[in-house]
Amino acid sequence: MIALTVVVALAFAFVLGVSDAPNATAALVGTHAARYRPAAAFSFVFHVAGGVLGGSAVAVTIGTLLDLTGNDLVVAYAAGCLAAVVFTLLAARVGLPTSASFGLVGGLVGAGLVSGGLGAVAWGGVEGLRPTGVGGILAWMVVSPLIGVVLAAALRAAMSRALRRVTRRALGPIRAGIWISAAAVAFSDGTNDGQKAMGVITGALVAGGAQARFSIPTWARLTVAVVLATGTAVGGRRLIRTVGRRLYRQRSPDGLAAQCASAISVLTAAALGAPVSTASVVAGSVVGVGLAQRRRHVHWPVVRSTLSAWCLTLPVCAALGAAAVPLLRVVA
């Protein structure tokens, strides 16, 4: 069962990468700083770097989400990942930038409830700024996009004042800044999102007796980083159009402000052990620059449909995770 859980966790990392394809490339493509293929290759490199060099705080948070032991915990991990994979693939087919991260949390909660009742889920809250349990994770997942909105709007407003008398010669440095900020977003995405699958794999290894303590194995870190980065590189063209152009048609200063806000938000969350949704932070940052510049040009129907998809994710994935447990027990 451990081997199956590892495979499903890697599948989750891959579809997480596909759904997160817009995170580091949408601004590059949407502002015409790069074509799709160079942007995707650039994103791949920095996603791998983030997965390999990032810490373990987010993985520990994921690994302590369920209070189960032995094979029950291994099955619950597999069921949670499977629920997130199924829902994310369905959402990707219609071009909605939904959150596989929300899907994982919902799937794990549903699987935990079926496996051990209310007591099997660490509901938790927030200790200081650090999340504990489902409550803390959801609080950060809700707050982080709002931080992206506010920070991106503030940065874009400051840039408008600073660039008021600057000529078009400033466009070159701004586009260079977009590349740097895109690297930061890809690194932060690899750090935060990669650790979610790493936490599942490591937790399964400990629960199954394959290792004694919760420490991410080198092979798991490397494998998840590459699989996640591959997902960002091979999928997501439709999602990139949604984030890069359909939410708000970005110009170069818009892309720079949105990317900087996203990177700061996600890296801060990763340092605190908060498994946030990078896709929602990036989308929030794009809306933030739109609010700062031309709020009437923000495509609100797209925003509403995106929010609807995120709201559906938790309950649907919880149901899918609960349904997957008895099926996986047959396999186990």
Confidence category of residue 241, pLDDT binned at 50, 70, 90: low
* Mean pLDDT, residues 306-311 taken together: 75
Other beta carbons within 10 angstroms of residue 93's beta carbon come to 9
Task: Centre a 10 Å sphere on the Cβ of residue 224 and count the other Cβ atoms it contains.
Answer: 33
Compute the mean pLDDT over every residue in the chain, rounded to the nearest whole number.
84
Q: Which residue has 């759904």 as its token pair?
A: 19
pLDDT tens digit string along 47-87? 999 999 988 999 999 999 999 989 999 999 999 999 999 98
Q: What is the pTM of this model?
A: 0.88
Task: Read off the pLDDT of residues 116-142 as tens digits, 9 standing for 90 and up.
Answer: 999 999 998 778 788 888 999 999 998
Q: Which of 9-23, 42-56, 213-227, 263-277 has the lowest mean pLDDT?
A: 9-23
pLDDT range class, residue 212, cuts 50, 70, 90 = confident
pLDDT of residue 288: 84
Predicted pLDDT at 112: 95
Phi, psi for 20 (deg, rounded to 5): -95, 10
pLDDT of the residue at 3: 92
Mean pLDDT (whole number) for 276-286: 83
Whether 22 has a pLDDT exceeding 70, the answer reads no
Task: State residue 246's pLDDT score.
Answer: 56
**Cβ neighbours for 107, distance < 8 A, ≥ 6 positions apart:** 79, 80, 81, 82, 83, 84, 317, 318, 320, 321, 324
Contact 35, 29 (CB under 8 A): yes
Token reading at 309 = 């998809």
pLDDT of residue 332: 67
